[in-house]
Amino acid sequence: MITEEAFKNAAKTIGCDVAAIKAVAEVESSGSGFLPTGEPKILFEPHIFWKELRKRNINPQDFLPLNADILYPTWGTMPYGKQSEQHGRLQRAIHINNEAALRSASWGKFQIMGFNHVQCGFNLLQSFINAMYKDEDSHLLAFTNYIIATHLDDELREQDWQGFARQYNGAAYHKNKYDEKLVAAFIKYK
């Protein structure tokens, strides 16, 4: 678990309130970066996998219909399934293409997409994945680096939850009331 001191250091680096970082952690992963199995929490994103395959000149349709639950072009086509099923889904995708699959999952306590590994301070995707398996302190470091690299520090500092939600969670953030969840969590930790 992340110590209060580590949260304070990250908040100082970002220039925001500790409650803002804790709010993101709670909304993204219910406060825990790991499953009971010891694996990091992930969410495999089939629409991102579709795009990642296309970037590699791999036709996603060649893997349908057997993989229709892990491979589709549009967000929201199907439910993602249970948290406990995500690593199995990722493993199936890895059999299609390792790098595309790993880049298509969000990882750890802050659910950062694998394709953002460079902004998290990891030149190699595998180094980012290894850090996600290591501990929650590594999750916090990746998050801190990502926030600074993507200039989301202003949104956290100013508690601009809609602006933060739009950039961190995507344009459809309002469908899941992401910004409202952040506000509620922030108030809880304040």
- Are both 185 and 159 inside the same structural domain? yes
Q: Is residue 99 part of a domain?
A: yes
CA dist 182 → 11, 23, 71, 109, 131 (Å): 16, 6, 29, 15, 25
Where in the sequence is the domain holding 67, given as residue range(s)? 42-107
Query: Considering the domain boundaries, does residue 177 fall inside one?
Result: yes
Structure tokens at 95: 């059999």
Q: What pLDDT, on the 0 to 100 scale, is given for residue 168?
A: 96
Supply the angle between the helices 178-189 and 18-29 in degrees, to the nearest 10: 130
The residue out of 60, 78, 107 marking a domain boundary is 107
pLDDT of residue 6: 96
Task: Verify that 96 and 130 share a domain, yes or no.
Answer: no
Asked, for residue 155, whether it belongs to a domain, the answer is: yes
**63 and 103 housed in the same domain:** yes
> Using one digit for the tens of pLDDT, what is the confidence trace for 34-44?
999 999 999 99
Last residue of a domain, one of 107, 128, 151: 107
**Average pLDDT for the chain:** 96
Mean predicted confidence (pLDDT) in 139-150: 98
Q: Say yes or no: 178 and 141 in one domain.
A: yes
Fill in the amino acid letter for 112: I
Q: What is the DSSP letter of 106?
A: E
* Position 167 in a domain: yes
Condensed to tens digits (0 to 9), the pLDDT of residues 71-111 reads 999 987 777 889 999 999 999 999 999 999 999 999 999 99
131 and 161 assigned to the same domain: yes
**Residue 112, in any domain of the structure:** no
> Where do we find the tokens 């939600």?
165
Q: Would you state the structure tokens that stand for residue 44, as one six-digit string?
A: 């495999």
Same domain flag for 127 and 184: yes
58: pLDDT strictly greater than 90: yes
Is 46 in the same domain as 17?
no
CA 173 to the chain's CA centroid: 14
Total domain count, the chain: 2
Is residue 48 situated within a structural domain? yes
DSSP 34: B
User: 107 in helix, strand or coil?
Assistant: strand
pTM higher than 0.85, yes or no?
Answer: yes
Instruction: Indicate whether 126 and 157 sit together in one domain.
Output: yes
- Final residue in a domain of this structure, among 107, 130, 148: 107
By the 8 A CB rule, do 108 and 40 touch? yes
